[in-house]
Amino acid sequence: MDGHSGQADPRIFLDTGAFSSMRERLFARSWQWMGDLEALSAPGSFEASLLLPGWLDEPILAWRGTDGTLRTFLNACSHRGHAVGAGRGCASKLACPYHARRFDANGTCLGQPFVESAGFPGDGDALRKFPSHESAPWWFAAVDPGWDVGDWLEPFLARCGHLPLADLRRDDARVSEYVVDASWVLYVDNYLEGLHIPFLHGGLDATLAFERYRYATFARSTLQIGVAAEGEPAFDPPEGHPDHGLRVAAWWWWLWPNLMLNVYPWGVSVNVVIPESPTRTRIRFIPYMFPGCVRGGGAGGDLHRVEMEDEAAILSVQRGIASRLWRPRPHLPVHEDGLARFHALLGDVLGTT
């Protein structure tokens, strides 16, 4: 931390050593959004995937047992490490394609052809388990979680749980991916404050009553509340809701460290931020639609344009902070409370606080 400014010097996040430390100290301890539950609803249904592909690359096998429980395993055979499952499917048992070691949906090893040995199969021959969690319509997984998943999701569910989240359906035609040659930290920094909206995003700003823009900060998440301009699409939160009386154009959620849940009247845009190098970041956009809704105007009307405007600014910041002369200043009150929380959490991970 910079002693004068009270905030982390962002240049530390361009450092190769700090970047490598975050892989194990932060991301290997983090909960990660994995995708939809729809394909994993039936007993025996399974899906093979990677946890943070290109960054952690942990092979995962999600498999729903006959008891209805979704279990998540390391997709590596206990014999020699070959993947047990591939793609999506439905089965009560799977055999490793390499040597036909067999497993059931509890991860228990059932045996292997031509192998007869005392004590085989034993507990150590089972598939290794990953911690996982269901919160319809999505599921989450972690290698070695450093915090409780329920606490992590609670602020989002408390604010948006009244919406028909379980009925969301992915809009496959609009799934997209962006790559920006900048630090993932700077990408999150930009997301966490709305102060730039009137100056950077003219189209978005026109949909908002920016003078009523609001923030809320939690232990491992932050919320930005965009209030709709007159005539723009909006939520009308029910009585007793913290935002009752506001015409909410969007709830923009960031969940530590790299998940964004952007809630609009038409649905939810899930954004997953994936570091690739100290100065390269990949972002996945996965949109979901509420039943009977179509994407139109409002704050979520042109996500691509807003993304391009953001990326241009982030690239400029990347160049600016790399200067030998640039120095960090204190976070601004209110609008940068989310940045302050984010940097404090990063400082805890890197031991710089």
* Closest to 95 measured CA to CA, from 114, 109, 106: 109
The band of 1, judged by pLDDT with boundaries at 50, 70 and 90, is: very low
DSSP string, 39-107: GG-STTEEEEEEESTTTT-EEEEEEE-TTS-EEEEESS-TTT---S--SEEE-SEEE-TTT--EEETT-
Strands (E), 256-339: 259-264, 267-277, 280-289
Residue 2: predicted pLDDT? 38
Both structure tokens of 22: 């975050």
Other CB atoms within a 10 A radius of the CB of residue 148 amount to: 12
Quick one: average pLDDT of 232-249?
Answer: 96
Average pLDDT, the chain: 94
Both structure tokens of 322: 């790399």
Both structure tokens of 52: 């943070």
Dump pLDDT digits (tens) for 260-296.
999 999 999 999 999 999 999 999 999 999 999 888 7
If DSSP codes are grouped into helix, strand and coil, which group holds residue 157?
Answer: helix
Dump pLDDT digits (tens) for 299-330.
999 999 999 999 999 999 999 998 989 988 89
Residue 346: predicted pLDDT? 93
Q: How far apart are CA 302 and CA 72, in angstroms?
A: 36
The band of 7, judged by pLDDT with boundaries at 50, 70 and 90, is: low
Q: How far apart are CA 353 and CA 344, in angstroms?
A: 7
Q: How far apart are CA 250 and CA 167, in angstroms?
A: 19
- Domains of the chain with bracketed CATH: 34-141 (2.102.10.10), 149-350 (3.90.380.10)
Q: How far apart are CA 115 and CA 111, in angstroms?
A: 8
Higher pLDDT, 2 or 53: 53
The interaxial angle of helices 337-350 and 184-191, nearest 10 deg, is 150
Residues 11, 334 contacting (CB under 8 angstroms): no
The band of 12, judged by pLDDT with boundaries at 50, 70 and 90, is: confident
Dump pLDDT digits (tens) for 180-190.
999 999 999 99
Residue 4: predicted pLDDT? 32
Residue 352: predicted pLDDT? 72
Region of residue 230 (left: phi > 0; alpha: psi -120 to 50; beta: else)? beta
Dump pLDDT digits (tens) for 159-205.
999 999 999 999 999 999 999 999 999 999 999 999 999 999 999 99
The band of 10, judged by pLDDT with boundaries at 50, 70 and 90, is: confident
Other CB atoms within a 10 A radius of the CB of residue 44 amount to: 17
Identify residue 81 by its one-letter amino acid code: G
Helix intervals (H) in the chain: 16-25, 149-160, 184-191, 197-200, 202-205, 303-321, 337-350
Dump pLDDT digits (tens) for 77-118.
999 999 999 999 999 999 999 999 999 999 999 999 999 888
Quick one: average pLDDT of 28-32?
Answer: 97
pTM across the whole model:
0.94
Q: How far apart are CA 161 and CA 255, in angstroms?
A: 16
Rounded to 5 degrees, φ, ψ at 274 are -120, 115
Residue 8: predicted pLDDT? 64
Q: Give buried/exposed letters for 200-230 (b at 16+ CB in 10 A, else e).
A: ebeebbebbbbeebebbebebbbbbbbbbbe
Both structure tokens of 184: 């993932």
Residue owning tokens 């344009």: 305
Both structure tokens of 62: 């999600």
Residue 188: predicted pLDDT? 97
Residue 15: predicted pLDDT? 87
* pLDDT of 5 strictly over 60: no
